[in-house]
Amino acid sequence: MGELDKIRNEIDAVDEEILKLLNKRANFALEVAKIKRSNKSKFYSPERERQILERLTSLNKGPLPNDALKALYREILSLSLSLEEPLKVAYFGPQATFTHLAALRHFGSSAEFIPVENIKGIFGVVDSEKAEFGVVPIENSTEGVISYTLDMFMDYDLKIAAEIMLEVSHNLLSKSGDKNRIKKIYSHLPATAQCRRWLESNMPGMPIVEATSTAKAAELASREEDSAAIASELAAKVYDLNFVESHIEDSKHNVTRFLVISKEACPRTGKDKTSIMFSIKDKPGALYDILLPIKKAKINLTKIESRPSRRKAWEYIFFVDMEGHIEDKKVRKAIKGIKDDCLYLKILGSYPHGGQ
C-alpha cells in the first residue's frame, strides 16, 4: 500500500468517527427538544449558538480557519435545530437575493426560508407569527442607509435580534456569457448604484431595466437570450446563467448590513449594541441635549441617522446605535435621561455586536 492510500484510509477512519459523533450530537439535540417541549421553552437560542461558536473558535488551533469553522458549525447547529423544530425565517426574495445569502449565513441551510416580495411584507410575516424571524437589509457601506427599512420600525412593534455583515460581490450574468450579445441589463436599483462606474466604463449607453431584486433580475435574464443581469454567484447557479464578468462592484469593500427582526428581545451576551429611535422637540440645541446623557455615561455611538417623521412637516426621527445592552446599568440610565426631552422614543432592541 502506497503512502497516499495510507493517508486516505486514515481520512476514511476520521470521517467514520465524525459521522458517529454527529449522530451522537443529534441524539442529544432530540433530548434537549423533549425538555424544551415540557418546559414550553423557545427552541431557538441565539445566545447559546453564539456561546458555542465563540468557545470553539477560541479552542481552534488550525489549520482550519475560524471563518470556515463557524460556517461548518452553523450548518451543524442549523441541522440540530431542524431535528428539534424547523425554524421559519422570512427574507426579501425571491431565492438567491443577497438577503437570502445573509439569512443562510446566519441561520444555516436547514432552516425553513420563506421568500417575501417586499420589506414591509417581511415585517408583516414576523408580526403575524408566520415566521419566527425576518431578515431585512438596513445599510450598504457605499450607498448608505435603506430608509424604507427604518420607516418600517415605526409601523411595527418588532425587535432587532441580530445583525449580519455580508460582503457583497456583483456579477454580470447572461444565458450565453457573451458580452457582445447583450442588448439590455436587468438590475435592482441598489446594485446598479454599486456598479455605476463599471457600467459607465464597460457598457456605456446600455439600457438598464429595473427589477425588484437582484434575484428577480437573474430570473428575467434567464428567459431572454439577449439580456443580462447584475446578481450574485448563487443566482447564477439557481437560474442557470453564465458569467459575463465577475466582481463588477465599484468598491471592493462593499458590505451590506442586514438586521434579523423578531418579536422576542435578545438576552445580554456581553458584546452587544442597542438601537433606539426618537423624535425631539423643535428648539435650539435639542439634539445636543438628547445626546449629552449618552456622552456623560461614556457610551460610544456607532451610528446616528435622521429621517422625516412622515407625521409633521420638518419633524425628524433619529435612529441611533450605541454600544451596550439595554440591561446594562449605564445604557438604561442614559436612555432614561433622554426620555423626558423626546416627543417619541422607541427601543428597537439590543443584540450581539457585529453578528456571529
**Looking at the predicted structure, is the pLDDT value of residue 260 above 70?**
yes
Region 296-320: mean pLDDT is 82
Hey, how many other C-beta atoms are within 10 angstroms of the C-beta on 20?
Answer: 10
* Same domain flag for 22 and 36: yes
DSSP reduced 3-state for 130:
coil
Percent of the chain with pLDDT over 90: 61
* Same domain flag for 155 and 182: no
pLDDT at position 83 is 81
Dump pLDDT digits (tens) for 136-172. 999 988 778 888 898 899 899 999 999 999 999 999 9
Q: Is 258 a catalytic residue?
A: yes
Among 14-23, 163-172, 304-313, the range scoring the smallest mean pLDDT is 304-313
pLDDT at position 356 is 47
Distance CA 109, CA 130 (A): 19
CATH number reported for the structural domain that contains residue 326 in this entry: 3.30.70.260
CATH number reported for the structural domain that contains residue 33 in this entry: 1.20.59.10
* Same domain flag for 308 and 330: yes
Region 292-303: mean pLDDT is 91
Q: Which of 153, 256, 274, 318 is catalytic?
A: 256
* Same domain flag for 24 and 79: yes
Q: Evaluate whether residue 267 is within a structural domain.
A: no
Q: Which of 98, 113, 133, 258 is catalytic?
A: 258
122-149: burial string, b at 16+ Cβ within 10 Å, e else: bbbbbbeeebbbbbbbbbbebbebbeeb
In sequence order, what DSSP letters do the residues of 133-202 get, joined into one string? EEEEEEEETTTEE-HHHHHHHHHS--EEEEEEEEE---EEEESS--GGG--EEEEEHHHHHHTHHHHHHH
* Same domain flag for 324 and 345: yes
Number of folded domains in the chain? 4
β-strands 242-245, 133-140: how paired? unpaired
Dump pLDDT digits (tens) for 84-107. 777 899 999 899 999 999 999 888
* Same domain flag for 61 and 40: yes
Q: Is 256 a catalytic residue?
A: yes
- Residue that terminates a domain, selected from 84, 111, 143: 84
* Same domain flag for 21 and 79: yes
Q: Evaluate whether residue 339 is within a structural domain.
A: yes
pLDDT at position 291 is 87
pLDDT at position 284 is 79
pLDDT at position 330 is 93
- Residue that terminates a domain, selected from 84, 108, 137: 84
Q: Which domain holds residue 240?
A: 171-245
Q: Which has more pLDDT, 82 or 27?
A: 27
pLDDT at position 311 is 64
* Same domain flag for 159 and 179: no
Q: Evaluate whether residue 235 is within a structural domain.
A: yes
Q: Which has more pLDDT, 1 or 214?
A: 214
Mean pLDDT over the full length of the chain = 90
pLDDT tier, 341 (very low <50, low <70, confident <90, very high otherwise): confident
pLDDT at position 323 is 95
* Same domain flag for 94 and 66: no
**Looking at the predicted structure, is the pLDDT value of residue 312 above 70?**
no
Single out the residue of 88, 95, 142 nearest to residue 261, CA to CA: 88
* Same domain flag for 155 and 92: yes
Percent of the chain with pLDDT over 70: 97
pLDDT at position 314 is 57
**Looking at the predicted structure, is the pLDDT value of residue 41 above 80?**
no
Region 49-75: mean pLDDT is 89
Q: Evaluate whether residue 284 is within a structural domain.
A: yes
**Looking at the predicted structure, is the pLDDT value of residue 277 above 80?**
yes
CATH number reported for the structural domain that contains residue 115 in this entry: 3.40.190.10
